[in-house]
Every structure is written in C-alpha cells, then in structure tokens.
Amino acid sequence: MRTVILPAIFSLLAAPCAGETAAPVSSRFRVEGTVLVYDTEVAGEEGEITPDDIEGLRSALRANPAVAKLRLNSAGGSIWAAEDMARIVTDFDLDTEVDGECSSSCVMIFLGGKARTMTRGSRIGLHSRWWAPEDVQNYYERNKADEHWATPFEFGSWIYEDTQAEIYEALSYVVSRGVDPGFAIEMYAPRESMWYPGRAQLEKAGVLRP
C-alpha cells in the first residue's frame, strides 16, 4: 500500500554550456561515462526512494544526453516516486542494471529498462505491498473531510477498492515489461520477509534480459 515518504535533499549543477555535460551534485546521482548511477544507500542520505528523486532523475538525464544505462542500488521507498521514475527510464529508452541491491519499489524502476542486467553478487528483493498502521491512521485523518468518509468503515471500504486497483495496475505494468505472468503474481504474494529469487529464476521469468 502507498505510504508518504519525506523527501531527501539533493541538488544539481547548473545547466551545461553547449557541447558540455554536467553530472549531478547529489551523492545519490552520479554519472560515470554513459552510466547514471542511482544509489540511495550512500552515506549521509536518507536511504529511501523519495518524490524528490523524480526530478533528480529527469534533470540528470537531460543534463547528460549520452547516458544509456541507469545503475541501481536501493532498498526501496516511495512507490509513487518509483512508478514515475520507471516511466522516465522507459521514455529515455535506458538499459538498467542492479549493482548491489534493488528491492521493493526499486524493482519498478529496474523493470523500466530496455535491457536489464545484474552484476554478479547483487540481488533483487521482492515483497507484497503493505501500509503501516500509523500511516493508515494519518492518511484517514488528513483526508476524511475531503473524501467525505463519515466513518473509518467507509475509509476501509475505499482501501479495499484502492488496493485492488493498485495491484491490478502493478501486475499490468510488470507483465507489460515482458515478465512471465505467473512470476508476476508471485511477486505480490503475501510474505513475511523479502524474497530474493536466484539469477536463473529471474532470467527464466524475464526479469533479467540482455
């Protein structure tokens, strides 16, 4: 289920002069030749995918038109942000690569890639979506007037419908990216811990593809 993530702070260099490229200043975005590295696990960062990273990705790609691959290392974060970043990855026709870990919402970004690879020793982590109780309560309190939820039970009915729509959209996206439908269903199966499929399983399912 969707949660609200506080934004991390990052900045970009000013737009480059004609014929030049500029690499992002933020430690979670850096350019290495034709590769844009997106690493939310670097020291001093919040460690999660945040809404601010949407503009960070878009700006970095516009400032560095030679970039052809996005290299990922993230344990996840805001699903809203990840979905929008995945759209940007697809729009820029990028390849994606996991170098370290790509788990939870990071997988949505990874699947936006044209070719999708994973360095040896890296891993991809999958789990069902969830919504922390305190976040559910806060969402209800903030939105009950605008949404006209007279009781928590009306809110609960909305959650039921919204969850079905959200999972349908997620499954449709995963399958549209060439992932085996049966594996896509397993991606969202209820689990108590993260699932790290092996390389052979990821290749067979179409998650990894050259």
SS3 (DSSP) at 31: strand
Token code pair at residue 100: 């370290």
- DSSP secondary structure code for residue 13 in this structure: P
Residue 129's Cβ-count burial label (10 Å; 0-12, 13-18, 19+) is: middle
Residue 129: is its pLDDT beyond 70? yes
Q: What is the pTM of this model?
A: 0.83
pLDDT at 114: 97
pLDDT, residue 6, reads: 32
Question: pLDDT per residue over 151-205, tens digit each?
Answer: 999 999 999 999 999 999 999 999 999 999 999 999 999 988 999 999 999 999 9
Decide if pLDDT at 10 tops 70.
no
